[in-house]
């Protein structure tokens, strides 16, 4: 099965209706990762078919849980899940945040070549980034630990916003160490077509500071 067929079948299975132009841009994004991977080592995944599953479909699986317009993808690396989300939903405003200069160079070039008007690339450490306006959604698929994610990125989330952490297996241990600054909204299992591994999405709400006072 070609990457194109894999994407079409995967989107159908997930119930996502993306037009042919968007599908084409998603595949162009995979080609860009492949091209830059040779020099910048953006991802350990080398096979285009696996990239469709582990990068595109894996990222798009969170789309139904995106509530709001302004999103920041912290520790985005090669743009995951931020770029697939921005391509799939042009009404989103997506900030791609990473402290690695090589990766942000790739991100700027990718956004340019893909004609992405709804993305902003920021090269900065997550704890140091102080945007003028906070975000509706703070998402990451790269943080290894939930407590660390909250500790470093909570300041980016609006009082009514949501923090989303993409995980593999159900993170029982990590959930016991969640700080008191957030409340657990739920842990949703994600179904990623053709992926023979567990995926979960942890949904966290910030506790308003006035409520804590």
Residue listed under structure tokens 């798009």: 60
Measured CA to CA, the distance from residue 6 to residue 117 in angstroms comes to: 27
Measured CA to CA, the distance from residue 82 to residue 60 in angstroms comes to: 9
Neighbours of 86 (CB within 10 A): 26
DSSP symbol at 63: G
Measured CA to CA, the distance from residue 114 to residue 121 in angstroms comes to: 14
Residue 141 known to bind ligand: yes
Residue 52 known to bind ligand: no
Residue 80 known to bind ligand: yes
Measured CA to CA, the distance from residue 141 to residue 26 in angstroms comes to: 18
Residue 213 known to bind ligand: no
How many helices and strands (H and E) does the chain possess? 9, 7
Q: Which runs of consecutive H residues, i.e. helices, occur in the chain?
A: 3-14, 20-40, 48-51, 58-60, 82-88, 101-113, 146-153, 172-176, 209-212
Residue 96 known to bind ligand: no
Binding region for S-adenosyl-L-methionine: 75, 80, 126-127, 141
Binding region: 75, 80, 126-127, 141
């Amino acid at each position: 099965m070609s990457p194109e067929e894999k994407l079409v079948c995967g989107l159908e299975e997930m119930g996502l209706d993306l037009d042919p132009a968007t599908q084409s841009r998603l595949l162009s994004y995979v080609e860009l990762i492949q091209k830059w991977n040779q020099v910048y080592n953006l991802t350990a995944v080398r096979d285009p078919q696996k990239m469709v599953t582990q990068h595109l479909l894996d990222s798009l699986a969170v789309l139904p849980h995106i509530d709001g317009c302004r999103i920041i993808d912290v520790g985005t690396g090669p743009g995951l899940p931020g770029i697939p989300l921005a391509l799939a939903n042009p009404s989103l405003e997506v900030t791609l945040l990473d402290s690695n200069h090589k990766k942000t160079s790739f991100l700027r070039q990718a956004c340019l070549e893909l004609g992405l008007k709804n993305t902003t690339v920021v090269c900065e450490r997550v704890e140091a980034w102080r945007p003028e306006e906070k975000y509706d959604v703070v998402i990451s698929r790269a943080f290894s630990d939930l407590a660390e994610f909250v500790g470093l990125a909570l300041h980016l989330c609006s009082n009514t916003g949501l923090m989303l952490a993409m995980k593999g297996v159900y993170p029982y241990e990590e959930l016991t160490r969640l700080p008191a600054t957030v409340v657990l909204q739920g842990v949703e299992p994600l179904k990623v077509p053709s992926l023979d591994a567990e995926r979960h999405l942890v949904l966290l709400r910030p506790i308003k500071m006035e409520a804590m006072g």
